[in-house]
Structure 1
Amino acid sequence: MANNGAKEWAAELARRQQAGDGLEFSPDNFLRAIGGAGTDDSFEMWLKEKVCQGELEALQAWKCPVEGCERVIDKNELEANVCPKCGTDFQEVGENPIRQLKYRAKGDTSRDIYWMIVIHGMNTRGAWQEELSWRLANKFKYSAPVLIFKYGLATIDVLVKCRHQSLVNKLGIRIRKGIQFAREHNSDHRPDVIVHSFGSQLFALLLENEQFCDLKFGRVITVGSIIHPDFDWSKHIDSGKIEAVLNHVGQKDIPVRAAQFFIPGTGPSGQKGFKDSASINVSEQSYGHSSAFEPSELKKNLGTGGLWDQFLQNPLNHFKPFTAFHLKEWKPFFVLVRCFTRLLGYLIFAILAPVSFVRRFLDP
């Protein structure tokens, strides 16, 4: 392989660092991964250069001498004097493992998805949840449930703040039980979270609620978010309450734009983004309020190399989506307009509350 292969070698190294997979390798295996065969002087020189630059660490290793096996053997396996792949006893065959170097790339390893919490939006039971649950279950490292929080067909309830807190309490208690259930089934890992629409607001309020300060989460994906764009994600990441947040923005999301006019404490983060630099805003020009949950989009986002797949499993240091952006400035709409629409919302609530109570009693 000629010197012009350096670009291909660098691309393969970058791919491994981005995926957090295959960070430790032998020269032969590295070249085979990109369709090369054997090693040559230029590749060896490139590896030494990367070691000098601090991008690679050289490790002492050995290789099985049996033709067709050539499995790389580390120091601990060498002491057993048996190849863990082909089972060859080196003393019996009278051959010693071949000494060679292997390399470890600098970078974080990939992470596994152990279990997931999904909090859906208002006025829906989430028809997309079965599709989402099935696709997530295929990504689990171990068998664990997808906990879907259902609070019924919330409608006018969202117009008054006291109802928000009641639903947050219900959510916190349900998640706490879910975490305990996971621990009883040998999964002490934090759950990752997907929140949609009004469910995003409930999750944000849960993070702010000291009553549930014991609840810890992994990575969070917000879709159709109505959380205020000024929300302080950094505080919760720095405190260890969550690991990271991906805000999947839909530029054609009309319900998100309207949220601040009727639902107290909300804003159009699902269409504008978050100002906090700790959050990762990714824009989709064609997305409406629930477009991300359409079967074709779930297949794309959760499939290997998809946006959600990369965010949930890859090291965050190398997670740089093409359509990512940072919201610099945002101000709420004129306060007088919002006061008028909120008053209108309270009036609607007062008129329809008895009907809502009866419906909730019959359909909890």
Structure 2
Amino acid sequence: MSNKSYVMWNNKGGVGKSTITFHIASVYAENNPDRDVVVIDMCPQANSSSMLMGGGKDSELKLQQLISMNEPQTIVGYITEATLNGDADIAKYSTKLREVNPNLSNNMYLISGDGNLELIAPLLSERAEATPLSAADNPWIKIHSIVRFLTKKPINSERPCTFFIDTNPSFSIYTQLAIVGGEKLLVPINADDSSIFAITGLFNLIWGTAIIHPVYGKYTFASKAKSHGLVLPKISFLLGNRFTQKKGAAHAFKALSNEAIDKMYSEYKKNPDKFEDPVEHINNLQDFESAYSIELRDFNSAGVVAANQGLPLSKMDKHTYEVYGERIQVAKEQREKCREAIELLVTKL
């Protein structure tokens, strides 16, 4: 068995990238004990790292310990060593999550996020644009392939890995590294106008599908990726986060949900090569939605508890939890529906 890698990205914030990453990775690890599951947190906010490390204030302290080491045991430490030395040891920068969060499976690991991603971004950009030292030297490819090379490595020599890469909505160079690192792209979208408008931007930023600007076009990531022959991930699934609210809800919300899928289908018709090949031929919108769209439940209070306590849905077996002095109720029906939606997605990965 070989390694797999999934990158979670949308250029709009607030669509649930980190929360979905936490739940997908934890369920995937439970269902695939023969694989090591590694979350690479490429977001300076490190929200998925916080959840995976147990949530709440304790996780912040644990994260700061990793960040403040002389050689940070974070994604910044890994990228720095790989940039300076050409490679880095994945084991040196990974955290075995069971040791800091007993709620998670024994086969889960984290290369944690780090706010210093913002600080090293100018260095990465400078290195990427450096003058090649020979005909065989390609600094732009070297820098942009750091995370891709990481995802080819094992944590344990005889076990394959599945990597889930969390991202920041900005299209900074560290986000570009994250996107290149994934073989498959998972796109969470909300049923709102800004998510719909962001879809065009997503396609243009990664693949340059819009008209190329006569002045700035040659400087874009998409143009450089094409000129360097860099293989980019393809869209695997559209994750309709909170789409299920449309059922029985206001007509306006349902209209927005439908419009988001319509917009993606429009992009598919123009750029089918940016999507993974479907199992069956796509003839219409219904076929497209069936092949690529998965509706996730709104996590509501279950999401609050999961984030605060690093608790996967499978371990959420109580009706009431305390979060910062407040008693939060989690309805069993809601929790089970959330879990069923995540389980469905995981079976398709």
Q: TM-score w.r.t. structure 1 length?
A: 0.28
Higher relative contact order (CA 8 A, sep 6+): 2
Q: TM-score w.r.t. structure 2 length?
A: 0.29
